[in-house]
Amino acid sequence: MNLLRRQFLRLGAAAAALPAVSRIANAQSYPARPVRWIVGFTPAGGNDITARLIGQWLTEKLGQPFVIENRPGAGTNIAAEAVINSPPDGYTLFLTNTSNTVNNSLYEKLSFDFIRDMMPVVGISRAPVVMVVDPSLPVKTVPEFIAYAKANPGKINMGSAGIGATGHLAGELLQMVTGIKLVHVPYRGNAPALTDLIAGQVQIVFPSSASSIELVKTGKVRGLAVTGAVRLAALPELPTVADFVPGYEASSLYGIGVPRNTPAEVIERLNREVNAALADPKMKERFVDLGGTPFGGSPADFGKLLADETEKWAKVVKFAGIKPQ
């Protein structure tokens, strides 16, 4: 994993390679036409909402449309491959997420190497997922759920946004540290998983906070806890899973990636503009409302986060024996 971390940091630092005058001149001319931003999940989930928030800011500030294109499937590999195979000119972006820190250990034969072929631009935010259950389930707390699951091994269906998605990993991590046994039911995004939770087809989901806050507040689903290290300001009544399961933590991460060999000046321009967005008080408030914490920083900062998360989730994938469908 030290090699993996060095690769991320090397790619993150590559934006400093060109002469300053050249970078400034080219950055001022970018973008000259609409930019595609590919998201590997369906609309309405945390990934999509994050991309649309920042995409709207970039559209307004840079004078060209940043068009969100949803390409769900294969744990974001379909979307990632489309971006990696695009011209490295800054006109095709990727919404990097937690799945991309998992897929290297999950998939044995990918047509690309995410670490090698996708360059980190900037981290946008981190957000815990929310442990929510069907309101008809006879549990109201994390300890009650764990006890119920232990009494009903293999009888509780756990929906997720897909194999390797944050919600899937959060559920597998809970099983790993508590010994409960759930049946994983993958969907193509949080929205369809939550729809089936409300319909009683699955009994538990770990969706993004962005896609579930309103459902919890309106009582359509029952929130038990959040998976981050601290409580969410948007759902202050919910404890953390770690309050009952010491050391437990699972969070989504969102950021921007671009194909390898994208000009350094383009990466610098995007990094600068996204950091400006994240410093804006209204944008900060919006992310807090959605349960997220703005990240920002340099490409190298984002590269380090990706490396750390890749190392963490590789252990969960190995323990759970997670395999792609």
**pLDDT tens track for 38-92:** 999 889 878 899 999 999 999 999 999 999 999 998 889 999 999 999 999 999 9
Whole-number Cα distances in Å, 9 to 5, 207, 290, 305: 6, 30, 29, 10
Measured distance CA(293)–CA(207) in Å, rounded: 16
Pairing of strands 204-205, 130-133: antiparallel
CATH of 2-127+252-320, one of 3.40.50.150, 2.60.120.10, 3.40.190.150, 3.40.190.10: 3.40.190.150
pLDDT at site 209: 87
Domain boundaries, the chain: 2-127+252-320, 128-243
Domains 2-127+252-320 and 128-243 share a fold: yes
What CATH superfamily is the domain 128-243?
Answer: Periplasmic binding protein-like II (3.40.190.10)
Mean pLDDT over 167-187 rounds to 96
pLDDT at site 45: 79
Q: Which residue has the higher pLDDT, 263 or 233?
A: 263
pLDDT at site 20: 45
Whole-model pTM: value is 0.78
Measured distance CA(226)–CA(206) in Å, rounded: 9
